[in-house]
C-alpha cells in the first residue's frame, strides 16, 4: 500500500530538508511525531513516512495527515535500518533527519533556527543537543559531546542530527546491524575526516527506553566491534561491560531482599 503526493518543495534561499519517520505498529507514538514535524515553521520541508507493514491503527493515523505528508509507504522491510535506507532513496532534500515514531523536535522553530539564513556548506553532518523524557515525567537535558570522543559511543542522538543526502547516498546504514548502525555511520565519518558541525541548540526530545537503553550489553558489544582494534578501546569497552553486569547483579540483589 502506498500513497505519494510528490509535491516536493523548492526554495533557493534555504535548503530543502527531508524528515523521515520510520514506524512499525506505532499507533501510540506516531501522532505526536507527525505533529512535531508538520507544525515546523520552516517552509522548505519534505516529510516522508516509511511504515514497515503495521497491523494496528498506525496507517489510519498516517492517512489522517496525508495532506501534510509528501510521501508515505507501507510494506514489509528487513528492519529499522533497511527502512531508513529506503527513506534515503526517496528523499529529495539536501539534508536528512530521522525522527522516528515517538521522537519529537524540541519545539516548532527547530528547523527555522537551524537552516533559515544559515551557511552549512562545508559540513556533512550537523548535530546538537537533546532532551530525554523519563516515565516518571522527569526531563533531562543532554548536551552533545565532543566528536573526538566518538570511539566511546555516540556523542549525540541521531534524532538531533542532520546528514547531507549526498553523504548518505554513498554511506548508507549497515542493515545487518541490530542496534549500532547509526553509531557506525558517525564513527566511520569521523575516521574519514568528514566535517561535523555543532549547533548549540536543543534539537530533539524523546522517551527513555529505546533499544540501545534496554539492550545495553548488546549495544556495547556492537559498538566494540565497530571501533578500532586498540588496547585503549578494548580496556574501555571491557570496563563498560563490567559496569553493566554489576548493575544487573545489584538490581537482582535489591529486588530479592525488598
User: Where residue 210 falls among pLDDT bands split at 50, 70, 90?
Assistant: low
pLDDT of residue 93: 97
Cα torsion 183, 189, 195, 199 to 10°: value is 0
Is residue 208 over pLDDT 90? no
81 falls within a domain: yes
238 falls within a domain: no
Domain count, the chain: 1
pLDDT of residue 255: 74
Backbone φ, ψ for residue 152 (5° rounding): -85, -15
Considering the chain, what percentage of its residues have pLDDT values greater than 70? 92
Binning the chain into helix, strand and coil, the percentages to the nearest 5 are: 40, 20, 40
Cα torsion 34, 35, 40, 44 to 10°: value is 40
pLDDT of residue 204: 98
80 falls within a domain: yes
Supply the Cα-derived Rg of the chain in whole angstroms.
19
Is residue 158 over pLDDT 70? yes
Are 46 and 8 spatial neighbours (Cβ–Cβ below 8 Å)? Answer: yes
Q: Which helix (H) or strand (E) segment is 198 a member of?
A: strand 196-207
User: Where residue 10 falls among pLDDT bands split at 50, 70, 90?
Assistant: low
Cell readout for 176 is 545487518
This model's pTM is above 0.85: yes
Q: Average pLDDT of 75-85? A: 95
State the residue range of the domain holding 204. Answer: 2-227
77 falls within a domain: yes
Q: Average pLDDT of 184-196? A: 97
Helix, strand or coil, per DSSP, at residue 17? strand
DSSP assignment of 6-52 equals ------SSS--EEEEEEESS-TTTHHHHHHHHHT-S-SSEEEEEEE-
What is d(CA 207, CA 199) in angstroms, rounded to the nearest whole number? Answer: 22
130 falls within a domain: yes
What is d(CA 155, CA 223) in angstroms, rounded to the nearest whole number? Answer: 13
Q: Average pLDDT of 87-99? A: 97
What is d(CA 144, CA 153) in angstroms, rounded to the nearest whole number? Answer: 12
Backbone φ, ψ for residue 192 (5° rounding): -95, 15
Lowest mean pLDDT among 2-6, 30-34, 68-72, 188-192: 2-6
- Of 215, 221, 125, 117, nearest to 166 by C-alpha is 125
User: Where residue 94 falls among pLDDT bands split at 50, 70, 90?
Assistant: very high
Are 175 and 81 spatial neighbours (Cβ–Cβ below 8 Å)? Answer: yes
Residues in a beta bridge with 23: 51
Are 93 and 9 spatial neighbours (Cβ–Cβ below 8 Å)? Answer: no
DSSP 142: E
Compute the residue count for the chain. Answer: 258
Give the tens place of pLDDT for each residue, 224-253: 999 999 999 999 999 999 999 898 888 887
What is d(CA 21, CA 100) in angstroms, rounded to the nearest whole number? Answer: 4
Cell readout for 216 is 545495553
186 falls within a domain: yes
46 falls within a domain: yes
Is residue 117 over pLDDT 90? no
User: Where residue 9 falls among pLDDT bands split at 50, 70, 90?
Assistant: low
pLDDT of residue 47: 98
The CATH number of residue 15's host domain is 3.90.550.10
- Of 165, 179, 171, 173, nearest to 126 by C-alpha is 165
Amino acid at each position: 500500500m502506498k500513497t505519494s503526493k510528490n509535491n516536493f518543495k523548492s526554495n533557493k534561499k534555504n535548503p530543502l530538508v527531508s524528515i523521515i519517520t520510520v514506524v512499525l505498529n506505532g499507533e501510540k507514538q506516531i501522532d505526536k511525531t507527525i505533529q512535531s514535524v508538520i507544525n515546523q515553521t520552516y517552509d522548505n520541508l519534505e516529510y516522508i513516512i516509511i511504515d514497515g507493514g503495521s497491523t494496528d491503527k498506525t496507517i489510519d493515523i498516517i492517512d489522517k495527515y496525508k495532506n501534510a505528508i509528501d510521501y508515505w509507504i507501507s510494506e514489509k522491510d528487513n528492519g529499522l535500518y533497511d527502512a531508513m535506507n529506503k527513506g534515503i532513496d526517496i528523499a529529495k532534500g539536501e539534508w536528512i533527519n530521522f525522527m522516528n515514531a515517538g521522537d519529537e523536535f524540541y519545539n516548532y522553530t527547530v528547523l527555522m533556527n537551524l537552516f533559515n539564513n544559515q551557511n552549512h556548506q562545508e559540513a556533512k553532518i550537523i548535530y546538537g543537543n537533546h532532551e530525554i523524557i523519563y516515565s516518571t515525567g522527569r526531563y533531562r537535558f543532554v548536551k552533545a559531546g565532543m566528536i573526538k570522543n566518538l570511539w566511546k559511543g555516540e556523542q549525540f542522538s541521531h534524532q538531533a542530527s542532520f546528514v547531507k543526502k549526498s553523504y548518505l547516498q554513498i554511506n548508507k546504514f549497515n542493515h545487518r546491524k541490530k542496534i549500532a548502525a547509526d553509531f557506525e555511520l558517525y564513527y566511520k565519518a569521523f575516521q574519514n575526516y568528514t566535517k561535523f558541525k555543532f549547533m548549540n541548540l536543543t534539537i530533539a526530545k524523546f522517551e527513555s527506553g529505546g533499544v540501545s537503553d534496554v539492550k545495553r550489553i548488546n549495544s556495547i558489544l556492537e559498538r566494540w566491534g565497530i571501533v578500532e582494534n586498540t588496547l585503549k578501546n578494548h580496556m574501555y569497552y571491557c570496563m563498560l561491560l563490567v559496569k553493566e553486569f554489576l548493575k544487573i547483579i545489584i538490581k537482582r540483589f535489591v529486588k530479592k531482599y525488598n
